[in-house]
Amino acid sequence: KLVELKPTFLKIIFVFFTISIFGQQSRIDSLLYNIEYSDNDTNKVDRLNELSRFYIYYLPNKVPFYTRQAIHIASKINYLKGLGYAYINLGYYSFRIDDYKSSKIWYNKAINLFVANNDFIGEGYCYQLMAKTTNGLGDYNISMKYLIKSRQCFEKANYPKGIGKVYEIMGGINDIFGDYNMALDNLNKAIKLKSKYNDIEDFSRPYAYLGNVYMHLDQKEKAIESFNKAIEISQSNHNLNTESYVLTRLGDLYFKHENYDGSIDSYKKSLEITTLHSNLWGRVRNLQGVGKGFFKKNQYLDALRFLKSSIDIAKGINDKFGLKNSYDYIYRIYEHYGSLDSAYHYYKLYNV
């Protein structure tokens, strides 16, 4: 029987993850050794790109250092494929730190290289990741257009592994549009293809999106099962990115079902990761989540502390949606306090 994660169990999971990350050091050391001692510059570029890709999910701040080394060597030996994937890594890194403008620039540089060399797989990856970027901006219709282009490229290359990635993002967008049957169909296709072709990179993400679908369908136990599966895979693959995302979604689920202690705990765990990753958008959402939980527990001072912190960050990234959410709750808090001037101040900000 499925049971809801309790805050203490979430702490155990996080401690286990913290200990298990040291297992990745052998992989990092192996790549660094290969990079340093390989006599083959093409191999060095490939390993630098592999290391950069790993760090995108693990410690994004390390990505530029290794990716720029790959660009330098690839340019010197005219290794265009390696150069293209280095551009992709910088594009994905930029997306992860909410720099969508730079992300698009790097992806376009990569596409130009791949198109010139008839590399349909590389081109398909660019369009797939550009869809993720436009998702971050809320341009879901444009994302679908990129995904269609991506699938066409992967089909030309007879590359089902890439098609699985496309189905994953399509399923996430279907869920946002409320087309839950289509979302379930696409996400299960993604899981099937990722399993068949051993695509372990972010294999946890379709399970996270399944959790979203079941949460929206009010199937709580299935949602928790999918989220737990996503956390388990994220920890085994040392994917802090998706683990943080799932913890936030668990916080949303617990909040919806009025388990405010579980909600606060999940948001705080996710907040640790988004802070480590300099993911400002994620920090805003988690700070708000903690603040909302404290508000529901009538712990208004704690709520104000987290909500006001979210405002400072949201202003810096022009997150208008995040600002409105924070203003809304702060207005309600001051209304409860009877501080009418402060309440009215935030009410006006909310209605701007």
Q: 61-69: list long-range contacts, CB under 8 Å, 24+ apart.
A: 61/277, 61/278, 63/89, 63/90, 63/93, 64/90, 64/93, 67/93
The whole-angstrom separation of Cα 96 and Cα 102 is: 11
Q: What is the pLDDT of residue 330?
A: 87
Q: What is the pLDDT of residue 323?
A: 87
Cβ neighbours around 312 below 10 Å, total: 11
Q: What is the pLDDT of residue 6?
A: 42
Are 6 and 262 within 8 A, CB to CB? yes
- What's the token pair of residue 76? 């010197």
The whole-angstrom separation of Cα 126 and Cα 121 is: 9
Q: What is the pLDDT of residue 25?
A: 65
Q: CA-CA distances (angstroms) from residue 205 to 37, 225, 226, 334, 342?
A: 35, 14, 10, 39, 41
Are 89 and 125 within 8 A, CB to CB? no
Cα-based angle 284, 290, 292 (whole degrees, multiple of 5): 95
CB-based burial, 182-207: b 16+ in 10 Å, e otherwise: bbbebbebbbebbeeeebebbbbbbb
Q: How far is CA 341 from the centre of its chain?
A: 39
- What's the token pair of residue 151? 């699938």
Cβ neighbours around 249 below 10 Å, total: 21
Q: What is the pLDDT of residue 326?
A: 87
Dihedrals phi, psi of 319, to nearest 5 degrees? -90, 85
Q: What is the pLDDT of residue 306?
A: 96
| Residue ranges, the chain, pLDDT below 50 | 1-21
The whole-angstrom separation of Cα 204 and Cα 10 is: 17
